[in-house]
Structure 1
Amino acid sequence: MNKKSLIGILVVVIILGIGGYLISTKPSQPTPELPKIKIAMVTFPGYAPLYVAKEKGFFEGVDVELARIESIGDIRAAMRSGDINMYAATYDIYQSTKDVAPAGIGFLIVDESHGADGVATAADVNSIQDLRGKKVGAEPGFPPYLVLQYLLDRTGMTLKDLDFQDLPTTDAGSAFAAGQLAAAGIYEPALSASVKVRHGSKVFASSADIPGLVQDLIFADENLAKDYPQALEKVAAGYFRALDYINTNHDDAYQIMANAFGVSVQEMEDFKTGVSWISKEENKRLFNQSSEVNVYKTYDLVCSILQKNGDTNICLKAADKLTDSIIKRFN
C-alpha cells in the first residue's frame, strides 16, 4: 500500500470517528414538561394527606395546586372549562348528573368512611320497611344520604316510599333528636349526639357496616390521563409518600393537616377515627376486579341506586370512567 492510500484511509477513519462521536454525544431529547395539576375539593379533612404531600414536596416532578371549591356544581363547571384538571369526589357525588356524563376518570382512592356517616332511627323502627310512609330527613349530595338510599335499595324501596324531607344535615340531626323524624341520615359528630339525646333511638347502620360504599377518589381530566399518565402517577406517588410520612412523623403531619383545615390537632385526630386513608396496597386490591369489594362493582351499584331515586339519568359503565392503569405502575 502506497503512502497516499494509507493517508486517505486514515482521513476516512478520523472523519467517521468524529462523526460517530458527535452523534453519540448529541443531547438526548428532553422529557416533555408535565402540565400543572390543579386538584379541586370541598373542605373535608379526608383529603388532608394531599396537603402533607404538598407541604413536604412529595409531588416530585409535577407542579400541584390544591384548590377549595365548595359547590360540586362549580367543581364540574371548572373541570369542563379547564380551570382545574383533577378533583376529589365520592362515587355518588361524581355520578349525580343529568343528561351530561360526569367529567373525568377515576384513578386513585384517597379515603373511606368507616362509621362517620349513618342513619339514626327511632326506638320503634326495627327494620327499614318500618320507615315506609314516615318522615325521614337527609341532605342530598352527602354520604349519609347515600347510606340511606343504599339501605332502602336493599329492601326494594326508594325515597318515594318515604315522606322524605330534604334538610341540611345539621337540621336533620336536630329534628331527629327532637322527635320530629322517624329517621335521619347524619354524619359525625351529630350522628352520635342525636342518638344520645333521643331516648331509645339508635344508629341503625353506618358506613362501617357497608365496606367500600363511601370512598373518595381523585378524578382526572380524560385528555390529561391519556396524554400525561405520568402526571397521574406522580400525584398518586406523592399521596402514598404522604401516608408513609403521617405514619412515621405523626406530630408534624397532624399539625400540617390541622393547619390546612383550620382545626386543632386533637380535632383532626378525632376526625380520623371515622375515616381511613387508603394505602397503595389497598388501592391495588380495590382496583382489582376480582376482589370481593372493588371500585368497579361499587361504582355500578351506586349509579343504579342513584338512577332509581332520580338523582341521575345516565349510567356509564365503570370500566369507561375508572382506570387501573395508574395503580398498576406501582410495584
Structure 2
Amino acid sequence: MNETLKISLPFYIAIFALFSSMVHGAQNLNPAPKIKIAVSTTPLSAPVYIAKVKGFFINAGLDVSILEIDGGDQCFTALQTGKADMATVSNSVIMFNSFEHSNFEVISSFAKSDNDLKIVSFKQKNIRTPHDLRGKTVGVVKGSASEYFLHLWLSKSEIDIAEVDIKSYFANELPIVLEQGKVDAISVWEPFAYQINNSNNDIEIMNTKGLYNFSFNLIGLRDNPVLTSTQTLGNHRQIKQKVTEALNKAVRFIAINPERSQLILRRHLKLSQHFIDWVWQDYTFELLLNEPLLSSVKNQAQWAIDRELVPQENPPDFSKIILLD
C-alpha cells in the first residue's frame, strides 16, 4: 500500500504540472483583449467608470484602460488618431464628425440629460434672453453640443446667428475666457458651468432646462486595427458586445446603488458631493440604440446643412453609423 503511494505521488505531480502548463499556455494564447477608451471627464461617463471600478469589464473578459479627456470632441480625436479604441461622445459630436469621417459607428448610448448644457454669463452683462446676445461675443466648443445648443437657444427666439460673434475654445478654456472678459457668455456643459458658478457669486445661468436632450454615447472604429489585427471579425463583434454587456451591468448598478455610484465618481473625477447633487437629478442612465437618437442626429445634421456649417452635398447615411437595436 505504501509502495503504491510512493509510486503514484510523482505520477500525480507530473500530471498536475502538465495540466497546469496546458491551462496557462491556453491563457497566453488567448489573452484578454486590451481596449483603451477615451472617456470625457463628466458624470455622464459614470457607466464607463463604474464598469471599470466594479470589475464588469474584467468579468466580461476584457482588459480595459481609461484615457481621461476634457470633452467628447477631443475624445473623438483620440479615437481617430489611434490613441484610443473607443470613445465617449455626445450626439452633436457624432453629427459634426460624420461629415468628415465614415469609419466609425455608435456602439451604444448610455446616458442622457436635458439640463447638462447651459448658457452662462455674469449678471452685470445683463444677459437674460437670447435677444440680449445681439452684438455680444459668445464662447463655444466648435463641432460639439456646445455650438448646437447655442444655436438652439437663439433659434427659439428667432435670433440670427450672424448677430452674435462666436469664438471657439476648448471646453476647459471657456470658464477662463469668461472670467477674463474675452467673451460675454459661454455655452458649456457640466462640470464647467458648476465650477464657474461655485467660484463666483455674480454668475447668471439661463433657464434652458428641457431645450435640448443631450445624449452620451460610446463609439468605435468599424475596422479598428487594434481589435482586428489578431482576431476575426466575429471576435471584433464579440468584443463590442462584451463592452456593451459590462456597461449594462454598470447601468443596473447605478440604479440600485446611486450613492455608491456617486462615491466612485467623486473619487475618480475629484468632484464634490455638492456638484453631484447639482447634476444627478438631471441624468438618466440607460443602455440603448433607438430611433430618437437617430432622429436627433438627423435633425442636427439638417440644421448644420441649412446654416452651411457642414458640406451640403453627399450628407452621411446615419443609419450606417447608428445601428438600431
* Bigger Rg, which one: 1
Aligned AA (2:88)? A
Residue 137 of structure 1 corresponds to which residue in structure 2? 138
Describe how 1:29-44 pairs up with structure 2 within 5 A: 35-44=33-42
Please name the residue that 1:288 is paired with: 290
Q: CA deviation at 1:40?
A: 0.8
TM-score of the pair, normalised by structure 2? 0.68
Which stretch has the larger CA shift, 57-66 or 245-254?
245-254
1:278 pairs with 2:279: no
Query: What is the alpha-carbon distance in structure 1 between the residues aligned to residue 84 and residue 96 of structure 2?
Result: 19
Q: C-alpha offsets along residues 255-288 of structure 1, whole Å, 9 cap, x if unaligned?
A: 22211112244443433234x14224xx2xxx33
Which amino acid in 2 is paired with 1:169? L
Identity of aligned residues (%): 14
Aligned counterpart, 2:50:
52
Aligned counterparts of 2:99 and 2:316: Cα–Cα separation in 1: 12
Residue pair 1:79, 1:103 contacting (<8 A) in 2 also: no
Query: What's the offset of the Cα at 1:118?
Result: 2.4
| Alignment match of 1:203 (pick from 206, 211, 215) | 206
Match of 1:149 in 2: 151
Work out the CA distance in 1 between the residues paired with 2:128 and 2:41. Answer: 35
Partner of residue 255 from structure 1, selected from 255, 263, 276 = 263
Indicate conservation of the 8 Å contact 1:106/1:219, yes or no: yes
Matches for 1:153-302 after TM superposition, within 5 Å? 153=155, 159-166=161-168, 168-171=173-176, 173-174=178-179, 181=184, 184-187=186-189, 188-189=193-194, 197=202, 203-206=206-209, 208-210=210-212, 212=213, 214-223=214-223, 227=234, 228-274=236-282, 276-280=283-287, 283=288, 287-289=289-291, 294-302=292-300
Give TM-score scaled by structure 1 length: 0.67
Cα distance in 1 for partners of 2:115, 2:135 equals 25
- Residue type at the aligned position of 1:260: H
Task: Check if 1:90 corresponds to 2:90.
Answer: yes
Measured after TM superposition, the shift of residue 253 of structure 1 is 2.8
Say if 2:109 and 2:216, in contact at 8 Å, map to a contact too. Answer: yes
Unaligned runs of 5+ in 2: 1-26, 228-232
Secondary structure of residue in 2 paired with 1:209: coil
Rounded Cα–Cα distance in structure 2 between residues aligned with 1:267 and 1:119: 18
Distance, in Å, in 2 between the alignment partners of 1:254 and 1:133 is 40
By how many angstroms is 1:232 displaced? 1.6
Number of equivalences: 277
Measured in 2, the distance between the counterparts of 1:102 and 1:312 equals: 14
Asked if 1 retains the 8 angstrom alpha-carbon contact of 2:72 and 2:88, the reply is no
1: CA distance, partners of 2:87 / 2:102: 12
TM-superposed CA distance for 1:154, in Å, is 5.2
**Structure 1: 5+ residue stretches without partners:** 1-29
Cα distance in 1 between the residues matched to 2:73 and 2:166 = 23
Task: After superposition, give the CA deviation of every residue in 1:264-323 in whole Å (9 maximum; x if it has no partner).
Answer: 44443433234x14224xx2xxx333xxxx011111122233344554337412102111
State the 1:71 CA deviation: 7.0
Tell me whether 236-245 or 133-142 shows the greater mean CA deviation: 133-142
Q: Report deviation, 1:158.
A: 5.2
Structure 2 counterpart of 1:278, one-letter code: F
How far apart in 2 are the matches of 1:174 and 1:132? Answer: 17
- Aligned residues: CA RMSD: 3.9
